[in-house]
Structures are given as structure tokens and as C-alpha cells.
Amino acid sequence: MRDRRLWIAAGLLLLSITVFLWRASKAQCWTLVGDAVCHVETTQRVVALSFDDGPTPDGIDFILPELQMRGVQATFFLIGNRMEHWPGQARRLAAAGMEVGNHSYSHKRMIGSSEAHYDGEIARTEALLRREGVPASGLFRPPFGKKLIGLPRSVSRAELRLIMWDVADDLAHHPTTEDYANDILQRVRPGSIILIHPMYFHNRVERAAIPLVLDGLAARGYRIVTVGQLLRMDHPK
């Protein structure tokens, strides 16, 4: 009976640890090792706008004109193997004055692997960015926001900052363009880092919502900057 209780207790402990690590791996504003930035403390009415994935030609063809006609600079976190598939797209973003960050090479969940694997994912994408003539931003965003111990250590070794978000697109609960945009606008606050996924064909709602988000932020008195610009405004409590 005692052995059975010990096994049950051990199983419950293991389950608790597993649940804790799973929740920790996707925490937006906290990490077990190092720092994860999801928001900046500022008194200014300013937010950073960021886009993940790609780059794809049709995604950039849609996004860039919307940003440029409003004089907005944003941050794009790009995937290494997508840059290889569509060479020249990262260069287009940099030439347009956009900030470009590292979003890994393969865009696989970066938990449960070796630090050498994470080092390679980061370094390979950094090399591709330099090959495209993209200025170093010093920013990394983990695929799916997943991170535990190994990835943050690799990010630190690469002398990058781990960037998360505090306002993310929520297509599952807001499937129409208007609801999607309004959800973002209702949750934003000074110092927010906004995340939108607009790069692929199935991201039609996200793309269509971008003008609504841009104009809605302006109507609410928000100035839109890059993540790097927002970080320089940080005033820790």
C-alpha cells in the first residue's frame, strides 16, 4: 500500500512539473532563464507593431503599401527557410525602412532540443539576414512563443533580445475582419507590442484587418514604432 502511495505521489509530482513547464514555455512575459520582453513601461501613447513569419512576396506586397502610405515603420520577424525560398523579400523590407528580426530557421517549437540546435537555428537565420543586407536588429522571437531554458540561453549567447508580445491576433475567437481588428484595438495600451500574422494565403482576415488596426490606433492617438524603437523608451518601475 505504501509503495502504491509513493508511486501515485511521484506521478502527481511529475504531472505537476509537466504542467508547470508547459505553461512556463508559453508564458508571454516571463521566462525561466533570462528576460522576455512583451511590453515596455512608458508614459507615451506609443506601441510597437510586429509581423511574424514569411517573408512571402504577396504578403509583403499587401503590407508594405499600407504601412508606407501612413508613414509607419514596423518590425518583421522572418523565418530563415522562407527567406531562402523567397530571396530578396527581406531586402525589400530593409530598403523600405522596416526593422527585421530573427524568427528561427525552421519555425519549429524550440523546446526539448539541445542548445546546439537552438544556436544553429539562430545563427543560420542571422547569416541569411546579413546576406540579404538587413541591418542587425538584435531581436529574436521564438516560434509559437515557446521557450524554456535552452532557447533563452542560446538567444543570450547570440547577443539578441527575446521578444514576445502582450497583444496578439485572435482569429479563433474573432473570425471576422472587424471583430479581429476591434479585439486588438480594445486590448492595446501604451507600450504594447502587437503581433499579427499576415504572410500566408490563409491569413486573409489578418491582412484585411491591418488597415483597420493602423487607422484605429491613429484615431486613438497612438504612435506606431518598431520594437527596437519601443525598447529604447523603456522606463522600468
As a whole number of angstroms, the distance between CA 75 and CA 194 comes to: 10
Residue 168 Cα to chain centre, angstroms: 9
Cell matching residue 34: 533570462
As a whole number of angstroms, the distance between CA 105 and CA 107 comes to: 6
Write the CB contacts of 159 (distance below 8 Å, at least 6 apart in sequence): 138
Cell matching residue 19: 504542467
pLDDT computed for residue 3 by the predictor = 57
Write the CB contacts of 181 (distance below 8 Å, at least 6 apart in sequence): 209, 212, 213, 216
Residue with cell 543570450: 156
Mean pLDDT, consecutive 10-residue stretches, the chain (237 aa), reads 52 40 54 85 95 97 98 98 97 97 94 93 98 97 89 96 92 86 96 97 95 98 98 74
The alpha carbon torsion through 145, 149, 154, 157 (nearest 10 deg) reads: 120
As a whole number of angstroms, the distance between CA 73 and CA 33 comes to: 31
As a whole number of angstroms, the distance between CA 71 and CA 89 comes to: 20
pLDDT computed for residue 171 by the predictor = 73
Q: Is the pTM of this model over 0.85?
A: yes
Residue type (1 letter), 171: L
pLDDT computed for residue 146 by the predictor = 87
